[in-house]
Amino acid sequence: MAHVRKQIRDRIASVLASGVTSVSSRVYTSRVYPMTSADLPAITVYIGSEQSSLITIGTSKKLSRRLAINIDIYARSTSGLDDSIDAIAVEVEEAIAGDFTVNGLAKEAILSATNIEYSGEAEQPVGIARLSYDVLYHTTVADPSTAN
Amino acid sequence: MALPLTSDLAAILNVDEFATAVTYDGGTINGIFDNETVPVEAGGLVEVHQEQPRLTCRTIDVPSLAQGNTMVINSVTYVVRAWVHDGTGVTEISLEKSA
C-alpha cells in the first residue's frame, strides 16, 4: 500500500480537481514540466518537506508527522490578475477546509502561509500564488502506509 | 566617414527583407517582429512558457509612443507595455497580446 503521504497528496489533488471549478480540473501532482498559456489557470500540488517525531514508545512506536504541502495556483490575465488569483484561492481554501482531516488520513490541514508573485515579461501577465499547508498525521514507525 | 545607418535601417526595415507591416496610430509602420517563446518564472515550481512579442522599429516612426497604444501585427492586436530607445534611432517595444 502507498505511503500515507502519497495518499494525502492524491486526496488533496482529487478534492481540488472537483472543488475548484475555475481551473477546469487542471490539477497536477508533482508536475515538473513547464506549462503554457493554454494550460492556465491551473494548480499544482506537491510535497515540500516533512518533520516527524516519536510520540509513543513500547511495542507500537508511533510517529507524529507534520507534512508541508504546497498548492501553487497559476493564472494569467491582462487585467484583474490579482482578483483572479484570489478568487481561485477562495475555492482552494474552501475545498481544503471542507476536507479538514483529508478523508480521515490526517488530524488537520492548516493553511500556514500564502505567497503571491507576478511576472509581466511575456505576452500576458502571469501570477502564481503558493498556498502552504501543514498537514498533521500519525503512523506507526513500522507501517508508514496506514494512518493512525 | 559616417556610418550609413539610416540607409541600412531602411533596407532592414523593408517588408521585402526582414520587416513586417504594423498598423499603428492610424497608419502603417515597418518593424521586425519577434515572438520568441520564453520561460516565465513567478515563484512556482514549474515555469510557464509564453511567447514574448517584441517589435523593433525606427524611433522616428513612434514619436508619441505611450503605454496602452495598440499595434496590429499579422492580424493580432497587441498593447504597448514598455520600450527601450537604443540611442541610435532604433526602438524595441515590449508588447502584450490583447485578450
pLDDT value at A56 more than 90 = no
pTM, entire model: 0.88
Using one digit for the tens of pLDDT, what is the confidence trace for A77-100?
Answer: 999 999 999 999 999 999 999 999
Helices (H) and strands (E) in chain A, counts: 2, 6
Q: Is A34 helix (H, G, I), strand (E, B) or coil?
A: coil
Q: Domains of chain A, with CATH numbers?
A: 4-140 (3.30.70.1700)
User: B40: which chain A residues are within 8 Å (Cβ-Cβ)?
Assistant: 119, 121-122, 126
Interface touch A32/B43, C-beta < 8 Å: no
Give the pairing type, strands B70-73 and B48-58.
Answer: unpaired
pLDDT value at A69 more than 90 = yes
Using one digit for the tens of pLDDT, what is the confidence trace for B42-51?
Answer: 888 899 999 9
Interface touch A31/B40, C-beta < 8 Å: no
Q: Which residue from B46, B50, B79 is facing A122, i.e. has the nearest CB?
A: B50
**What is the complex's ipTM, to 2 decimals?**
0.81
What's the CA gap between B29 and B64, in Å, rounded? Answer: 13
What's the CA gap between A77 and B52, in Å, rounded? Answer: 15
What's the CA gap between A27 and A14, in Å, rounded? Answer: 8
Amino acid letter for position B58 = R
What's the CA gap between B33 and B29, in Å, rounded? Answer: 12
Using one digit for the tens of pLDDT, what is the confidence trace for A107-133?
Answer: 999 999 999 999 998 999 999 999 999
Name the nearest CA neighbour of A9 among A103, A91, A73. Answer: A103
CATH topology of domain B5-97: Thrombin, subunit H (2.40.10)
- Please list, in sequence order, all residues whose beta carbon lies within 8 angstroms of the beta carbon of residue B96, skipping any fewer than 6 positions away: A78, A120, A123, A124, A125, B53, B78, B79, B80, B81
The DSSP bridge partners found for residue A117 are: A128
User: A123: which chain B residues are within 8 Å (Cβ-Cβ)?
Assistant: 35, 50-53, 95-97
Q: Take residue A123 and report the three cell numbers written for it.
A: 505576452
Nearest CA in chain A to B39: A34
Alpha carbon A7 to its chain's center: 12
